Each structure stands twice: as C-alpha cells, then as structure tokens.
Structure 1
Amino acid sequence: MNAADDFDYDAALAACARGDQQALRSIYDRDARGLLGVALRILRRRQLAEDVLHDAFLNIWTKARSFDPARGEGRGWIYSIVRHQALSVARSSGREVQAGEDALDALDASNAESAATGAGLVDAFERQQDLGRLHDCLIRLDASKRDSILYAYVDGCSHAEIAARMQSPLGTIKAWIKRGLSALKECMG
C-alpha cells in the first residue's frame, strides 16, 4: 500500500463542507493532474480542460455538503464532478471531438511528465503499460466497434448520440459497443 492509498477522501470532503480550505488544497495537490487528464481526454483542449478543472473545484467546494459516503467513495464523487463538468462543456460548445492518436500521445506525454517528478513512478509506469495495451487492443477492433466505444467512453455520448453521429441504427450501435467491449476485455485479460 502506498501513501496515496492512505488518503481519506471522505474525511477531506467532510472538512471542505465545514469550510476547511486546507482540505480542498490537499485534494487539489493529490489529484489535480489526474483530474486534468480526465477533462483533457474529453475536451482535447488544454485551456478548456484547465477551465473545467477550476470550475469543478469550485463545485467540489460548494457541494461538499451534498457528498454522501453511503452512496459511494469520495474519490469517485470528485472524479465524477470533473467528468460531468467536462461533458457539459463539450456538449454546450457543440464541438465534435475526435479521439485521435495525437491526443492520446499528448496525454501519455503529460502522464510521463508527472511520472518524472518522482511521485508515483511505479503507478505511472503501470498506467503507461496499460494505456499501451489498450491502444494496441483498440487498433485490433474494426472501425465501427472502436469508434462506438470511443464515442461512448471518451466523448461521453449516449447510444442515441452515437447512432446519429455514425448514421447507424441504435440496436447496431449497442451491439457494436457490447461486442467491442467483450473483445477489449479478452485482449486486455
């Protein structure tokens, strides 16, 4: 178990709810880089992702009282706020986001920079290996399955939105995603 596993997100969120600014700072110091990666993966523009991260931390601060540890873990709650904020920005801007190899390479480079700081070097190495394996497995999928999965899990599109983008029936999209995820699971396993 490393030091990151010892951090109590639930307690930090409870402290935020009581107005403890240091608790918010500790969450930021611990997870800002990973949270920025979540936003960047959805939005593909660093400035927008940084704006989302800022707004998300304001939401974390103001909504900390609404966090209920009985409904889930604090870390998941924090990440979901960033993800929903990024998806909201992506949808409101009307931008169609392409999940290209260049964007994934940029994210990988950002993760490599964070690993170079010495914090979580082993975790960063394992994450890079997993991303490499995932990339290889995604390449093996046919384009329709791969695009459906990327639209769903990277861009956060609903099945209906994917069907509209790909001009395919809803049932076909659902089947592509199900079969694609099954193939990815087998490939990654």
Structure 2
Amino acid sequence: MPDDDQLHALLGRVALQDRQALQALYQATSGRLLAVAYRLLEDRGAAEDVLQECFITVWQRAAQFPALRASPLAWLTTLIRNRAIDVARRRRPETPLTWRDAEGEEHHHDIPDESGSPLQQMTQRQADHRLHHCLETIDSEPRAALKLAYFEGLTHEQLAARLERPLGTIKAWVRRSLMRLKDCVGEPA
C-alpha cells in the first residue's frame, strides 16, 4: 500500500485527468475500499457498484482533494463508506414469503392480486373494447379533440389553438362526441 505522499501525488495527477494515475490509485486502494463497502452492504455485487461509483466521483472531484487537507486514504474511505450507507438505506427490507411461528407451523404471506377476478378482468376488457369501438365511430377531428381534452387535459381554448379551429367548433365537437360515446357505450352488444 503506497503511503500518503504517494497517494497525494496520484490524486494530484488524477485532478489533471491522468488516466494512468487513476488506474494506479485504483490498483493501490480498491481492495481495501471494496472491503469497507462489502462489510456495510454484505453483497459483493453492490459493493463493487459502490466502488465504481466512488472512483467516478474521484475522477470528477480529485481537484477538490488538496483543499481538504486530509489523508487520501481517509478521504477515499469516507467516500466509499458514505456511498455504501446511502445504498443500504435505499434498499427495501426483504420480507420472506413464508415463516415459522413458535410452534413450528409454517405460515405464508397473502399478497392480494389487485388485477381483479377473472370475471372482473374480462368485464373490463369488454368495456375497454366497446369504448375503443365507440371512439372509432367518431370522425377523426372531433375524436382527436376529445382525446386531447380527456387524455392530455387540454381546455377548449387550448384545443382551439392547437387544432387551429374556432372555439365554437371545438366546443361542439367535444359535446357531440361525448353524446355519441354515451349513446354508443350504453347500447347493448
């Protein structure tokens, strides 16, 4: 392991965007820094990702190091430690799907299916299909105005400006299109 003076020199060269200096710094310190990240994360892949992110930071911020007046290894260790802690905090705690109680009986977490029952899914698909069919029966310009109004939230004035049509025309298109949809969707199949 190089001493502080050698690490200072490497960081100085890295600050000047010297790639060989970054490689030498990496080779000299990566083993120790990876160990710090691994100890905090207990996941080698995540620790390697943190190490890579830290060396990107070193490449970008090495010019700031001399102002810190700290040991280069201490600075690098602080970077890796803080980044690993951030990663650990962002992780969601994993909940096992099964567990055993005090009597040894196995239990399972019930995860509700939010997509609905098969009947509800089929009914929704049929309603979506019917709405799509009804939309297709409306002329293209009024249909475009209706879609812009409801899917993008445009006001009548904004629709008139975007479609370059008079405000009265836009209002009539939207009102008539809604009435046609109501009639079409309400019809039995």
Shorter chain as normaliser: what TM range? 0.3 to 0.5
CA radius of gyration, larger in = 2
Structure with higher helix content: 1
| TM, length-normalised to structure 1 | 0.46
| TM, length-normalised to structure 2 | 0.46
